[in-house]
């Protein structure tokens, strides 16, 4: 029993990170119907900003988190303005290739600055509590709670504010929204800022939980978060959260009860089967084709 509980806790931690990154994919897709493949690398930049803020400037945790979120958000907006906006009317495949290119640029730029893996100092006091064999670390609890809080704030923004309403309007109909006075460019920038800052926050938390970072760390995590977004129904915010937790749970549970060599194989077969029965993801709705 403790074994299952321990594995569930592990799944929650991994799932929280996937969910936070998946939100970035899903928000951009919801508003632009474009997949920002550079998002995994923005997550990596978040982790490196955390390193710079914590080591070079010796800042405590809260400023580190805010600085990384703001830094990554700014980078996200700049990338949107200079790399994606000129392609907004181009075929969608061009935008996707550009996104992949931006991702490669970020990786190799970080690599060129310094190729060595970096150690993140311990920013938060980390104690481990043991309840009859179940080990719970304060860091684990913190990652899970902070992710949930960030997701709750995002949900409030999208459902309860004017900006959120504007986002939903653009996502609903991109042609009519500007006619009704929605400032499309501004809202797209805001969406990018929010989505990427969540990726930056995920980068910081990841760096705290797994304190050795390198420029390639965003690739695999980014792909997995993208899959989580698709499973949850890409474009749907609550779907991305659910998808992240499902992917985390599937990965950990395969390892827990089957040989760990089969982890990725079984995890992805399960997700493929799920997509066969629900091709638009768990919460996604089919898009009516406009003629």
Partner 1 sequence: MKKFGLLFVLCVVMIAFVAACSEKGNTVRIGVNAEMTGDMPAVGESCKKAAEMAVKEINDAGGIDVAGQKYKVELFVEDNAGKPDQSASAAQKLITQQKVHAIVGPNATRYALPASEIAESSKVVMITPWSTNPKTTLDAKTNAPKKYVFRACFIDPFQGRVVAKFALETLKAKKAAVLYDVASEYNKGIAEIFKDTFEQSGGKVVAFETYTTNDKDFSGQLTKIKKAQPDMMFLPNYYSEIPLQIQQAKRLGINVPFVGSDSWGSQELHKLCGNDCEGYYFSTHYAADAATPVATKFIEGFKAKYGTLPDDVAALTYDSFGLLFQALKSAAKLDRDAIRDALAKIPKYEGVTGNMQFKEGSGDPTKSAVIVQIKGGKFVYFATANP
Contacts with 228 (C-beta within 8 Å, 6 or more apart), sequence order: 18, 19, 21, 22, 240, 243, 244, 246, 247
CB of residue 135 to partner 1, shortest distance in Å: 5
Residue 269 in contact with partner 1, rule: CB under 8 A: no
Residue with tokens 């996604």: 284
- Nearest Cα neighbor of 246 from 223, 216, 212, 270 is 270
Query: Which residues are 128's β-sheet partners?
Result: 137
Query: Considering only residues 109-128, where is the footprint of partner 1 by CB under 8 A?
Result: 111, 115-117, 119, 126, 128
* Number of C-beta neighbours around residue 49 at 10 A: 23
Instruction: Tell me the three state secondary structure of residue 59.
Output: coil
Q: Which is nearer to partner 1, 58 or 261 (CB)?
A: 261
Site string for partner 1, 129-148 (x = CB under 8 A): -x----x-x-----------
- Residues 29 and 238 sit within 8 Å (Cβ to Cβ): no
Query: Considering only residues 69-108, where is the footprint of partner 1 by CB under 8 A?
Result: none
Q: Which of 66, 96, 144, 219 is the binder for partner 1 (CB under 8 A)?
A: 219
Q: Which of 14, 20, 170, 204 is the binder for partner 1 (CB under 8 A)?
A: 14
Instruction: Tell me the three state secondary structure of residue 130.
Output: strand
Q: Which of 61, 74, 105, 216 is the binder for partner 1 (CB under 8 A)?
A: 216
- Residues 123 and 54 sit within 8 Å (Cβ to Cβ): yes
Q: Which is nearer to partner 1, 3 or 172 (CB)?
A: 3
- Binding site residues, partner 1, CB under 8 A: 3, 6-7, 10-11, 13-14, 111, 115-117, 119, 126, 128, 130, 135, 137, 206, 209-212, 214, 216-217, 219-221, 251-256, 259-261, 263-264
């Amino acid at each position: 029993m403790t074994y299952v509980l321990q594995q569930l806790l592990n799944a929650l931690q991994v799932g929280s990170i996937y969910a936070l990154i998946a939100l970035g994919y899903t928000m951009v897709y919801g508003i632009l119907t474009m997949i920002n493949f550079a998002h995994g690398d923005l997550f990596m930049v978040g982790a490196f900003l955390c390193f710079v803020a914590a080591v070079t400037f010796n800042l405590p945790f809260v400023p580190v988190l805010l600085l990384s979120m703001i830094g990554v958000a700014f980078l996200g907006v700049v990338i949107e303005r200079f790399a994606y906006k000129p392609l907004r009317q181009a075929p969608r495949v061009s935008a996707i290739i550009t996104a992949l290119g931006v991702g490669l640029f970020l990786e190799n730029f970080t690599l060129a600055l310094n190729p060595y893996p970096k150690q993140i100092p311990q920013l938060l006091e980390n104690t481990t509590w043991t309840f009859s064999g179940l080990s719970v670390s304060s860091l684990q609890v913190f990652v899970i709670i902070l992710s949930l809080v960030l997701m709750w704030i995002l949900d409030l923004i999208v459902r309860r504010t004017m900006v959120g309403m504007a986002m939903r309007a653009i996502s609903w109909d991109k042609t009519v929204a500007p006619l009704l006075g929605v400032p499309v460019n501004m809202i797209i920038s805001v969406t990018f800022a929010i989505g990427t800052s969540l990726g930056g926050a995920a980068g910081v938390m990841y760096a705290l939980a797994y304190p050795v970072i390198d420029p390639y760390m965003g690739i695999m995590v980014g792909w997995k978060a993208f899959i989580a977004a698709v499973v949850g129904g890409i474009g749907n915010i609550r779907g991305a959260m659910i998808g992240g937790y499902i992917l985390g749970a599937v990965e950990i549970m395969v390892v827990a009860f089957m040989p760990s060599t089969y982890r990725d194989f079984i995890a992805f077969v399960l997700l493929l089967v799920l997509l066969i029965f629900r091709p638009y993801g768990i919460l996604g709705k089919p898009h009516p084709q406009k003629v």
